[in-house]
């Protein structure tokens, strides 16, 4: 290698390294901001969690300011920029990004610049105001109100800027994986918006929701694996909107599997995205209660089925009523033997969409660490239960199609191989018959040493004598090994 090419290579590497570290500090800032927003919402100011979140936020702001000389967060279209850097979405920041985008939109601001190092107290005020936007006034007037409120409270160190309409970047330059994440974040944002406006008694328009569903259906049709991978990260589970988007993705993928047309998938996706919209009419104390619900609370939670119908009926009729989503909202907990809720007065058969959504819903709910569920089952256990436990009242044919879709070991499952290596399921096998032989990434060798293996391992591979090279013997709890699954899908 001659000198010039060596130095070019060096320069390229330097550039890549800087780019990485800029992304890392930007991502840390958004995650810290999101953490602070959540802490302020959930705890009283004097709580340790708030203090800790504030000091993390201050550190993250200082880091960005140190490198760039300034620290501004801007929303342009569906993208977040930290100063001049467009934030790349990764699996560990998309929920934070979606949330911050939503906050900015509702507050009617396009950007927030932090000047100097504001005191923790000032941050608490700013974040509380941001979370309680004056929703009764038109969006274009909200920024002025917010600025006035901050001035009244003598808060300094923050500059607001209005929303801008310039496009946020060229979609063509995004790789397929990032495009899938972008679709996911957009859908989270839209769904969150629909749920909050329904809760506030406003009637959200279905137009944006339909566009989001279209994005999901397109993504499922072009790259099912990336989209399914996104549903495996269930950290921000206290939000009904994350669950709704996951159920939408799983349902459309399942609908495709059972041969529905694209038009049907759009209908199914919409019904799936809105299946729990009735939860916007259930009090938050019940929805977010930790621990077991008492009988009255359970009854209240169960009303989300028929309340969903009412919520959908109150949407502007526009291009027609959302009849199919209403049926799905009403039926999705009914169970095929009608032993669920609401109890129908006379015999009926659940619609196909309801049966598909019930399977996707059951899977997502059971694999999520919910507020009222101490530890979630492994995805493989859940599938087994769905297949073998008739009491769940799922349609066995649809469950079979679902297992065909995800494999017996769904994406994100940690497994032990007969070679005693530990591995993570990365993708279902492309061979439809090889349900128990997905494509995995090795996590540790036979002695239990963690390895960083970037190559994927196809479990359908055989040696010369025709024996499988590796076979799954059981599943493992990732937490036992301190494995953070999101690291492997970023």
Site for Fe ion in 383-422 (CB under 5 A): none
Our CB check for Fe ion shows the closer of 276 and 421 to be 276
Beta carbon of residue 249, minimum distance to Fe ion (angstroms, whole number): 13
Number of CB atoms found within 10 A of residue 137's CB? 12
Pick the stretch among 64-72, 152-160, 273-281, 467-475 that binds Fe ion (CB under 5 A): 273-281
Our CB check for Fe ion shows the closer of 237 and 361 to be 361
Beta carbon of residue 275, minimum distance to Fe ion (angstroms, whole number): 6
Pick the stretch among 268-276, 320-328, 385-393, 423-431 that binds Fe ion (CB under 5 A): 268-276
Pick the stretch among 26-34, 71-79, 227-235, 354-362 that binds Fe ion (CB under 5 A): 354-362
Beta carbon of residue 97, minimum distance to Fe ion (angstroms, whole number): 24
Our CB check for Fe ion shows the closer of 250 and 408 to be 250
- In Å, what is the CA distance from 14 to each residue of 10, 17, 381? 6, 5, 46
CA distance 218 to 230: 15
Beta bridge partners of 390: none
Pick the stretch among 295-303, 338-346, 358-366, 416-424 that binds Fe ion (CB under 5 A): 358-366
Beta carbon of residue 273, minimum distance to Fe ion (angstroms, whole number): 11
The answer to whether 250 touches 241, Cβ cutoff 8 Å, is: no
Pick the stretch among 2-10, 119-127, 272-280, 318-326 that binds Fe ion (CB under 5 A): 272-280
Site for Fe ion in 417-456 (CB under 5 A): none
Q: Which of 106, 189, 276, 395 binds Fe ion (CB under 5 A)?
A: 276
Site for Fe ion in 22-51 (CB under 5 A): none
Beta carbon of residue 305, minimum distance to Fe ion (angstroms, whole number): 7
Beta carbon of residue 319, minimum distance to Fe ion (angstroms, whole number): 26
CA distance 2 to 39: 55
Beta carbon of residue 280, minimum distance to Fe ion (angstroms, whole number): 12
Beta carbon of residue 87, minimum distance to Fe ion (angstroms, whole number): 30
Of 132, 119, 113, whose CA–CA distance to 54 is shortest? 119
Pick the stretch among 78-86, 213-221, 276-284, 446-454 that binds Fe ion (CB under 5 A): 276-284
Contact between 331 and Fe ion by CB under 5 A: the answer reads no
CA distance 103 to 37: 10
Q: Which of 106, 267, 331, 361 binds Fe ion (CB under 5 A)?
A: 361
Count the site residues for Fe ion by CB under 5 A. Answer: 2
Report the interface residues with Fe ion, using CB under 5 A: 276, 361
């Amino acid at each position: 290698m001659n000198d010039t090419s060596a130095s070019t290579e060096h320069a390229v590497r330097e550039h890549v390294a800087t780019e990485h570290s800029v992304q890392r500090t930007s991502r840390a800032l958004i995650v810290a901001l999101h953490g602070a927003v959540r802490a302020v919402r959930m705890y009283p100011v004097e709580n340790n969690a708030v203090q800790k979140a504030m000091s993390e936020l201050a550190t993250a702001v200082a880091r960005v300011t140190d490198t760039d000389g300034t620290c501004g967060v801007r929303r342009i279209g569906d993208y977040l920029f930290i100063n001049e850097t467009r934030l790349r979405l990764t699996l560990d920041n998309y929920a934070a990004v979606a949330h911050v985008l939503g906050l900015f939109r509702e507050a009617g601001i396009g950007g927030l610049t932090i000047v100097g190092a504001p005191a923790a107290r000032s941050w608490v005020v700013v974040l509380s105001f941001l979370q309680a936007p004056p929703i009764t006034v038109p969006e274009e007037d909200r920024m002025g109100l917010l600025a006035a409120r901050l001035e009244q409270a003598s808060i300094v160190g923050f500059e607001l800027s209005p929303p801008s309409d310039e496009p946020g970047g060229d979609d063509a330059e995004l790789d397929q994986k990032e495009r899938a994440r972008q679709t996911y974040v957009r859908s989270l944002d839209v769904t969150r918006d629909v749920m909050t406006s329904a809760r506030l008694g406003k009637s959200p328009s279905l137009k944006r929701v339909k566009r989001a569903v279209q994005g999901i259906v397109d993504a499922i049709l072009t790259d099912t694996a990336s989209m399914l991978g996104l549903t495996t990260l269930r950290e921000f589970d206290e939000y009904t909107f994350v669950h709704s988007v996951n159920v939408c993705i799983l349902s459309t993928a399942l609908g495709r599997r059972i041969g529905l047309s694209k038009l049907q998938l759009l209908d199914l996706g919409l019904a799936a995205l809105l299946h729990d919209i009735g939860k916007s009419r259930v009090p938050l104390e019940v929805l977010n209660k930790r621990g077991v619900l008492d009988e009255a609370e359970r009854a209240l939670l169960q009303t989300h089925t028929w309340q969903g119908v009412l919520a959908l009926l109150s949407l502007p009729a526009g291009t027609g009523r959302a009849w199919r989503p209403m049926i799905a909202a009403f039926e999705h907990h009914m169970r095929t033997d009608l032993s669920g809720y609401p109890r129908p007065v006379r015999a009926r058969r659940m619609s196909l969409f309801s049966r598909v959504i019930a399977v996707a819903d059951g899977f997502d709910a059971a694999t999520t660490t919910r507020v009222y569920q101490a530890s979630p089952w492994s995805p493989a256990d859940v599938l087994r239960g769905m297949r073998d436990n008739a009491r769940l009242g799922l349609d066995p044919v649809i469950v079979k199609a679902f297992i065909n879709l995800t494999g017996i070991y769904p994406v994100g499952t940690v497994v032990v191989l007969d070679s005693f290596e530990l591995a993570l399921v990365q993708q279902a096998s492309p061979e439809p018959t090889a349900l128990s032989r997905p494509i995995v990434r090795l996590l540790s060798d036979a002695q239990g040493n963690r390895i960083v293996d970037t190559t994927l391992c196809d479990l359908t591979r055989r040696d010369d004598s025709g024996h499988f090279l590796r076979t799954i013997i059981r599943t493992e709890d990732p937490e036992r090994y301190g494995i953070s699954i999101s690291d492997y899908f970023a």
